[in-house]
Amino acid sequence: MGQIELSFVIPAYNEEGSIQDALWTIDEVVKSKKLPYEIVVVDDGSQDNTFTMAKRYANRNGHVRVVSYSQNVGKGYAVKKGFMQSSGDIVVFADSDMDVDLGMITSYVDALKNGDIVVATKWHPDSHVYMPIKRRILSHGFNVLVRILTGANLKDTQVGLKAMRKSALATIFPRLCVKRYAFDVELLAVAKLYGLKIVEMPVQLRISESFRLREILKMFTDLLGIAYRLRVTHWYQRTLDTR
C-alpha cells in the first residue's frame, strides 16, 4: 500500500460473532471513497476467538492489521493504542459490535471539511435510534452530568462512531488518561478545551442491552476524574501552556 489517507480503529472485546461482519462492512463502504486506507483492529484482551477471527480476515485482506494484548484494559485504552499506531491523515473510530450502522461512515469523513472531529449523536433530529427506555433515561442523565462537570456542551458523547483529523488530535491523545467507557467524554472535553471544532451528525443505532450497575459506577467515577483534572489540577491545560 502507498501513503495511507484513511485509518479505521476498531476496538474489540469478545466480539467473535461480529468482528468479521464489521470489517467486511467497512471494506465495502470505504471502497467508494477511493482512498488508500487501513483498518487497525485492537483486540482488547478478548477471552473468546475475536483475535483468531480478526487475524483470519486480515490474512485475506492486506488493508487489515490486528493489534492484540493478553489482558483486558478497556475500550479507551484500545482506541488510544489504535490511534497512536494509525497512519492515516483521517482516523475513524467504529465499534465492532454492529450496533451502529457503519454505512454512514463516508458521510462522517465528508463532514470533516466543516470541522476537526465529527461525532455521532443519538439525539440528533435525524437520528434513528432503538434502545431500552431505562438506557435512554440513563443516557440523558449522564449527558447532563457531562455538561455540568466538564462544560462540554454536546448532545451526546458515547456513540461508537467518530471521525477526526489526526493532525488536530495528535497533541491531545498523549494526555488522555481514561481507559474505559468515559474515554469519549475525556477526548471531547479536551478537544473543546483546545478550541477544536466538533460537528455532531445523525446516526442509526440499535441497542438491546441496558447498562449494568457496575458500568454506571465506573463511568461516573471516570467522569469525576476528568472534571478533577480539568477544573482542579488543570492537568489538560498544562499541555496548552507548553505546546
Give per-residue pLDDT as tens, 118-168: 999 999 999 999 998 888 888 899 999 999 999 999 999 999 999 999 999
Q: Give the pTM.
A: 0.91
Strand partners, 199: 118
6-242: CATH topology: Spore Coat Polysaccharide Biosynthesis Protein SpsA; Chain A (3.90.550)
Whole-number Å distance between alpha carbons of 111 and 65: 26
> Cβ neighbours of residue 224 under 8 Å, at least 6 residues apart?
149
Residue 44, SS3 per DSSP: strand
Whole-number average pLDDT of the chain: 91
The residues spanned by each domain of the chain are 6-242
Question: Do the beta carbons of residue 104 and residue 203 sit within 8 Å?
Answer: yes
User: What b/e sequence results for 147-167 when a residue is b if at least 16 CB atoms lie within 10 Å of its CB, and e otherwise?
Assistant: eebbebebebbbbbbbbbbee
Going by C-alpha positions, the residue among 112, 120, 96, 116 that lies closest to residue 33 is 112
- Quick: pLDDT tens for 4-62: 899 999 999 999 999 999 999 999 988 877 889 999 999 999 999 999 999 999 999 99
